[in-house]
A and B are shown apart, each in its own frame.
Chain A
């Protein structure tokens, strides 16, 4: 598969090496001459010392035959422009952007970026798992961000506490699949009684998240939770 990477920072550097090792055809665009030479010394002539934001250089790099363009520079605005040029100008099937400001994720998707990868959100997700100050934890995103796996912690005052699973009124876009109780996993059954302290793992459409939260946890997601 032909993959164009833009941005030779740490992420771009390790990505290049990993993708080459996996047998892909890779080109890396890095605008800084010193950094480009440094990486080229190690991986060879696949490094092009050009600014990937310029349509001209994307074209020279063969963007019109690339299966994937991944923009992993340190600047959100550059990554957006690289992906938009790739998508709309060169019809690249799959564009991936690294995004630092989590608020940019939705905008970037709307503007034609196929896959938005946010290191900020990933670390945030891990922090949330370790320190459950919020009752709803985002575990991972699927289907290009349209779906997410979430973990909802049932507290004593939650609407779902003391209810049978079949009586919890969830939207169609949400599927519960497991309950973690006393550190062990239990498959969801309709006649299961939800208890405070349960962690319910669900697959949900992003637009259903608010309803799911209201049904399982209640409105105030910042309420501190007592952990058993």
Chain B
């Protein structure tokens, strides 16, 4: 499987390593080449310096027709833009965006965008320690609620 990861932070780097070790073809993109220091020296995938919200950069990374696309930068909005670009213009089927603002994550789930939310994950993990009932579904990727994405606006 071919996977594109945007954002080589802690999460992006570790996901890239895990997928590459499992034999997947991984390309990771980050604006700063220093971010790639988080990857191990024997990382078997490819690392590309560039803006992951720029369609040209994504194409150069081979995102067109990739199997998986994970947008994992520190900016919710950058992830939202990159993810929708990957799905709509680059025809990637499995697209996930990290959206740390739970309200925004909810709104985009209605629009058909799958996401992970660090905020709700941490909150649930911590309140579970105190013995409160939790919602285990937050530890999975929030799937799109419905595919009611709007058609192009005419006129």
Q: Any chain B CB within 8 A of the CB of A89?
A: yes
Question: Which residues between 37 and 56 of chain A lie within 8 Å of chain B, taking CB atoms?
Answer: 53-56
Q: In the complex the two chains form, is A146's CB within 8 Å of B150's CB?
A: no
The interface residues of chain B lying within 8 Å CB-to-CB of A56 are 103
Q: How far is the CA of A103 from the CA of B56 in the complex (A)?
A: 9
A140-154 residues at the B interface, CB under 8 angstroms: 143-144, 146
The residue from B78, B84, B101 contacting A107, defined by CB atoms under 8 A apart: B84
Chain B min CB distance to A41 (Å): 29
A77 and B111 in contact, given A54-B101, A54-B103, A85-B104 (Cβ under 8 angstroms): no
User: Is B33 close to A, CB under 8 A?
Assistant: no
B135 within 8 A of A: no
A25-33, A109-117, A213-221 - interface stretch: A109-117
A135 within 8 A of B: no
Q: Separation in Å of the B51 CB from the closest CB of chain A?
A: 9
- Residue A76 interfacial (CB < 8 Å): yes
A86 to chain B, nearest CB (A): 11
Q: Are A144 and B153 CB-contacts (below 8 A) given A54-B101, A77-B78, A78-B77? A: yes
Query: B107 is contacted by which of A55, A77, A114, A143 (Cβ under 8 Å)?
Result: A55
Q: Quick one: which of B78, B88, B155 contacts A110, CB cutoff 8 A? A: B88
Q: Are A55 and B103 in contact (CB under 8 A)?
A: yes
In this assembly, does A66 line the interface, its C-beta being within 8 Å of a C-beta of chain B?
A: no
Tell whether B62 is near chain A: CB-to-CB under 8 Å. no
Q: How far is the CA of A110 from the CA of B88 in the complex (A)?
A: 9
Are A88 and B75 in contact, CB atoms less than 8 angstroms apart? Answer: no
Instruction: Tell me if A's interface is mostly helix, strand, loop or mixed.
Output: helix
Does B143 sit at the interface, judged by CB under 8 A?
no
Taking a contact as CB atoms under 8 Å apart, the answer to whether A77 and B54 are in contact is no
**8 Å CB interface, B86-108 against A:** 88-89, 101, 103-104, 107-108
A109-B110 CB under 8 A given contacts A56-B103, A85-B104? no
Min C-beta distance of B53 to chain A, whole Å: 6
Report yes or no: B155 in contact with A77, Cβ–Cβ below 8 A: no
Interface string of A70-87 (1 = CB under 8 A from B): 000001111011001100
Cβ–Cβ contact A107 & B85, under 8 A: yes
Does B42 count as interface, using CB distance less than 8 angstroms?
no
A55 nearest in chain B by CB position = B103
Given contacts A55-B103, A56-B103, contact A84 B111 (CB under 8 A): yes
**Closest beta carbon of chain B to A23's beta carbon, Å:** 28
Residues of chain A contacted by B88 (CB below 8 angstroms): 107, 110-111
The 14 listed contacts between A and B (C-beta, < 8 Å) are: A54-B101, A55-B107, A76-B81, A77-B75, A78-B77, A84-B108, A85-B107, A103-B54, A103-B56, A110-B88, A111-B150, A112-B150, A144-B153, A146-B155
Binding site for A on B (CB under 8 A): 53-56, 75-78, 80-81, 84-85, 88-89, 101, 103-104, 107-108, 110-111, 150, 152-155
- Residues of A at the B interface (CB closer than 8 Å) are 53-56, 75-78, 80-81, 84-85, 88-89, 101, 103-104, 107, 109-112, 114, 143-144, 146
Known: A77-B77, A81-B80, A88-B111. 18 other contacts (CB 8 A): A53-B104, A78-B77, A80-B80, A81-B81, A81-B104, A84-B80, A84-B111, A85-B104, A101-B54, A104-B55, A107-B84, A107-B85, A109-B153, A111-B88, A112-B150, A114-B153, A143-B155, A146-B154
